[in-house]
Structure 1
Amino acid sequence: VIVDGRSGVATATMTGPEALEELLAEARVNAADAGVDPVAAVAGPDGVAPPDLELYDRRIESLSVEDKAEIALALEAAVMGGDRRMCGVEGADYGDSVVVSAVANTAGIRAAQRESGAGLSVYAMASDGAETQTGFGFAVGRTGQELSVELTAAEAVGRSVRLLGATKPPSGKVNVVLDPWVTAQFLGVIAEMLSGEEVRKGRTPFADRLGEVVASPLVTLLDDPTDPRAPGASLTDDEGLACRRVDLISGGTLAGFLHNSVTGAVLGGGSTGSAIRSGSSLSVGPRAVRMLPGATARDDVLAAVGDGLLVTEVSGLHSGVNPTSGDFSCGVEGLLLRNGEVAEPIREAIVASTLQRMLTEVLSVGDDETWFPIDASGVTLAIESLSLAGA
């Protein structure tokens, strides 16, 4: 509720008339203790129709508990049989859900949707007798019947085995190729910095750069929850407004920001259907970030780089990014590249730069777009000259 510019939020686990009356009363009490926000308002209909998406797959209802257990066991068995160096599985999981949600308010918003989701995940362990390495594999879809146990297991096996014998690389400047999984994580961080909430609060280096060149012309970045392939695809945002494609960077030029109704009103242009509610607070965020893929095959991206580093995993990315300045420093694992070919594995290394510089130094964009359950997809991405700290 919003009372005299003060917002109050309350939650309940029951939906009967009496519970709803108590919920409203609690929200009003909470509003009385909140600070005044002069732009606080309830979102009203903006005339944009929700996308035509089918987010629910009825086949999800046909899987019994026993079926789901068998999927998880089959995943474990596929990992253990995938390579003679496999020595264990930390966990093999299958999970699914059906979510029904609705949004209604006094300004005329009425929205509802039903969606299903299913996922496989596995953490594999490989050993060469001297050391043990782990690797993950996962898959997401609208129902379990869409997921491949074999491909998920193969991913985990490959990630664990290829890091056996890894050492610290030499320090210096190095051309870097990001694996799609790593690219997706970076894109998620960049998209969060293109939030109207961050612009409003002056906490992003992109705040005053709308219409300026901020990236290589190879870079087109967007948030598109109308894409049915995206795990985060949705009919409406958390204010009940229709989700829509939002162009963030177009051919290297900063094209827009993500907005909810409040930031859209303050900064102009209105909501982009990007409201996100986390717990009691309403904010702004991406649902389906993607960089438009290029026309270059992954092997050709590696070949063009020549000598460099293929990064297959990052650690500490979110904590290692300064969202105000764009500076970042994070741990990496991966494989050295020699003459465009994958060479020995490396670990315990750190790459550092700024996100702004990284965007402008993109050398090549792969054609291998892959969606991940982190509200983003990724492609193989080559970047010129990042700082690498190793041995």
Structure 2
Amino acid sequence: MSARTGSAAAGRSPGAAGLVDPEELLGRAEDLVSTARPGEQIDVSLGASVDTEIRAYGGAIESLSSARSEGALVRVIVDGRSGVATATLTDPAALAELLVEARTNAADAGVDPTAAVASPDGVRPPDIELYDARIEALSVDDKADLALSLEAAVLGGDARMCGVEGADYGDSVIVSAVANSAGVRAAQRESGAGLSVYAMASDGSETQTGFGFAVGRSAEELSVERTAADAVERAVRLLGATRPPSGRVDAVLDPWVTAQFLGVIAEMLSGEEVRKGRSPFADRLGESVASPLLSLLDDPTDPLGPGASRTDDEGLACRQVGLIDGGRLTSYLHNSVTGAALGTASTGSAIRVGSSLNVGPRAVRLVPGSTTRQGVLASVGDGILVTEVSGLHSGVNPTSGDFSCGVEGLRVRDGEVAEPIREAIVASTLQRMLADVIAVGDDESWFPIDAAGVSLSIQGLSLAGS
């Protein structure tokens, strides 16, 4: 019997050939904007995508889906009153109906003096290529083979591997367009592909898990072997883990852990959080907030980042935004609304969540240091290497910066990794953690979140163990 199941498994990938061209999508948005009445502002965001998800389990394809979707958002602003309407169609007739609905909603809305569409700011979108046409040439069979091969590579990677919770392949192609009555015009096409796997290793009655993943613009950029090896290593190295003794320890954060912390910190540098007083970094521009070794930026102009983009969700050009420079806080992230509210301008950081316009990072990263990973380990001498955290988002107080989260990883002795640890909790404040960095690694890695990471060593974290 074939390892593949489901009627969609055979034949060619449906790909993105049926998606509307970005310029055609932009034309639809522009046509709607051109109908603005005197004193009326119109903002139109359109998008369409095709997404494929495949999971291998037990040597067969457990699930396979390929879905197309469309979305439209029309916003009308009249005398400070905003009305929004959304739909899952982008054809001209549907958009005309949305405009009527948005106008009706605006008439019933309260007055917001800050309500306005974004105005062009003269910044040109970065010249980056975010679409790889090879993603459309890969058949469903080939995609399924990647997932099956990933599962097999994990199970064959070590005699102690006892199972795989799921080996997944996914890809997407997205086209989008934004236009408004202030003159903003933007359209783009993007592609993305990824592998992920959660693996289990056992030794006697003990079982540990590990993960591996890879991201790229097409399947050709993904490595089954490297993804499987990462999952195997992460699972096997935790076998025999015990709770470490409590106390204050120096710690090295694995790049994956650093990336998660950076994502949380970048959210606190959102202009929306700052203007509402919900950030420990509010009103601190120009101040020292971190070690001089740290320079933090949001860089959606780097095509290696999964969140890279030519324009933000208001249609303004994405750009590199320096947030911390040599330890000094230099900027917050803004959309047009928060920028105006705080007396500055948008940083091209608008993000739509549903019908709401928010602000946030797309590709936050530290400027890599010149220290090798081994050098970062040597900088702590004796301490711990944190390879995974749990409960980070729920364990952070977004106003004070206090945090506590579960950790697992390895002891570090004389700059070398030693026995594994688990069931421990680290606690500190994000501000103190940033200030107490003693080494920054050169091993930058991108992950399928809005951040990249490097190995990072930090002095004096509070560790609760045995």
TM-score (norm 1): 0.98
| Rounded Cα–Cα distance in structure 2 between residues aligned with 1:72 and 1:176 | 35
The corresponding residue for 1:13 is 88
| Rounded Cα–Cα distance in structure 1 between residues aligned with 2:306 and 2:244 | 36
Residue number among 147, 151, 173 corresponding to 2:248 in the alignment = 173
Once structures 1 and 2 are overlaid, which stretch shifts more, 355-364 or 31-40?
31-40
Residue number among 321, 345, 349 corresponding to 1:274 in the alignment = 349
Residue 200 of structure 1 and its aligned partner are, at CA, apart by 0.9
| Rounded Cα–Cα distance in structure 2 between residues aligned with 1:288 and 1:238 | 15
Local SS of the residue matching 1:9: strand
| Rounded Cα–Cα distance in structure 1 between residues aligned with 2:77 and 2:196 | 41
| Rounded Cα–Cα distance in structure 2 between residues aligned with 1:317 and 1:30 | 39
Cα distance 1:344–1:33, how it changes in 2: closer, same or farther (>3 A)? farther
| Rounded Cα–Cα distance in structure 2 between residues aligned with 1:75 and 1:268 | 51
The corresponding residue for 1:362 is 437
Matched, 1:73 2:160: no
Residue 204 of structure 1 and its aligned partner are, at CA, apart by 0.7
Matched, 1:120 2:190: no
Residue number among 269, 276, 281 corresponding to 1:194 in the alignment = 269
The corresponding residue for 1:100 is 175
Local SS of the residue matching 1:388: strand
Aligned 8 A contact 2:369 2:442 in 1: yes
The corresponding residue for 2:452 is 377
The corresponding residue for 1:3 is 78
**For residues 56-91 of structure 1, what are the alpha-carbon distances to aligned partners after superposition, in whole Å with 9 as ceiling and x for unaligned?**
001111100000000000000100110000001100
Cα distance 1:139–1:34, how it changes in 2: closer, same or farther (>3 A)? farther
The corresponding residue for 2:227 is 152
Residue 18 of structure 1 and its aligned partner are, at CA, apart by 2.3
Residue number among 199, 206, 210 corresponding to 2:285 in the alignment = 210
The corresponding residue for 1:325 is 400
Residue 363 of structure 1 and its aligned partner are, at CA, apart by 0.6
Residue 36 of structure 1 and its aligned partner are, at CA, apart by 2.9
Give unmatched runs, 5+ long, in structure 2: 1-75
Residue 27 of structure 1 and its aligned partner are, at CA, apart by 2.3
Residue number among 91, 100, 115 corresponding to 1:40 in the alignment = 115
| Rounded Cα–Cα distance in structure 2 between residues aligned with 1:119 and 1:27 | 37
Residue 34 of structure 1 and its aligned partner are, at CA, apart by 4.1
The corresponding residue for 1:59 is 134
Matched, 1:225 2:339: no
| Rounded Cα–Cα distance in structure 2 between residues aligned with 1:132 and 1:36 | 58
**Could you tell me which amino acid in structure 1 is paired with residue 233 of structure 2?**
G
**For residues 276-322 of structure 1, what are the alpha-carbon distances to aligned partners after superposition, in whole Å with 9 as ceiling and x for unaligned?**
10111101100010000100000111112111010000011111111
| Rounded Cα–Cα distance in structure 2 between residues aligned with 1:331 and 1:27 | 46
The alignment's C-alpha RMSD in Å is 1.0
**Could you tell me which amino acid in structure 2 is paired with residue 48 of structure 1?**
V
| Rounded Cα–Cα distance in structure 1 between residues aligned with 2:288 and 2:79 | 42
| Rounded Cα–Cα distance in structure 2 between residues aligned with 1:318 and 1:34 | 34
Larger radius of gyration: 2
| Rounded Cα–Cα distance in structure 1 between residues aligned with 2:390 and 2:104 | 42
Give unmatched runs, 5+ long, in structure 1: none
Residue 6 of structure 1 and its aligned partner are, at CA, apart by 2.8
The corresponding residue for 2:186 is 111
| Rounded Cα–Cα distance in structure 1 between residues aligned with 2:105 and 2:160 | 57
Number of residues of Structure 1 aligned to a counterpart in Structure 2: 391
**Could you tell me which amino acid in structure 2 is paired with residue 166 of structure 1?**
A
| Rounded Cα–Cα distance in structure 1 between residues aligned with 2:458 and 2:404 | 15
**Could you tell me which amino acid in structure 2 is paired with residue 250 of structure 1?**
D
The corresponding residue for 1:295 is 370
| Rounded Cα–Cα distance in structure 1 between residues aligned with 2:266 and 2:108 | 32
| Rounded Cα–Cα distance in structure 2 between residues aligned with 1:34 and 1:123 | 48
**Could you tell me which amino acid in structure 1 is paired with residue 410 of structure 2?**
L
Residue number among 204, 207, 218 corresponding to 1:132 in the alignment = 207
Matched, 1:253 2:328: yes
The corresponding residue for 1:50 is 125
> What is the percent sequence identity of the aligned residues?
81
**Could you tell me which amino acid in structure 2 is paired with residue 355 of structure 1?**
L
**For residues 359-380 of structure 1, what are the alpha-carbon distances to aligned partners after superposition, in whole Å with 9 as ceiling and x for unaligned?**
0000100000000111110000
Once structures 1 and 2 are overlaid, which stretch shifts more, 28-37 or 127-136?
28-37
**Could you tell me which amino acid in structure 1 is paired with residue 252 of structure 2?**
V
**For residues 9-65 of structure 1, what are the alpha-carbon distances to aligned partners after superposition, in whole Å with 9 as ceiling and x for unaligned?**
222112223211221222233334544321111001110000001000011111000
**For residues 107-128 of structure 1, what are the alpha-carbon distances to aligned partners after superposition, in whole Å with 9 as ceiling and x for unaligned?**
1111000000000000101001
**For residues 162-213 of structure 1, what are the alpha-carbon distances to aligned partners after superposition, in whole Å with 9 as ceiling and x for unaligned?**
1111111111100010000000000010001011111111111111110011
Residue number among 226, 229, 237 corresponding to 2:312 in the alignment = 237
Aligned 8 A contact 2:379 2:438 in 1: no
| Rounded Cα–Cα distance in structure 2 between residues aligned with 1:304 and 1:13 | 54
| Rounded Cα–Cα distance in structure 1 between residues aligned with 2:194 and 2:385 | 27
The answer to which structure, 1 or 2, has the higher relative contact order (CA under 8 A, 6+ apart) is 1
Residue number among 323, 333, 337 corresponding to 1:262 in the alignment = 337
| Rounded Cα–Cα distance in structure 1 between residues aligned with 2:449 and 2:182 | 32
| Rounded Cα–Cα distance in structure 1 between residues aligned with 2:108 and 2:239 | 56
Residue 7 of structure 1 and its aligned partner are, at CA, apart by 2.5
| Rounded Cα–Cα distance in structure 2 between residues aligned with 1:168 and 1:125 | 20
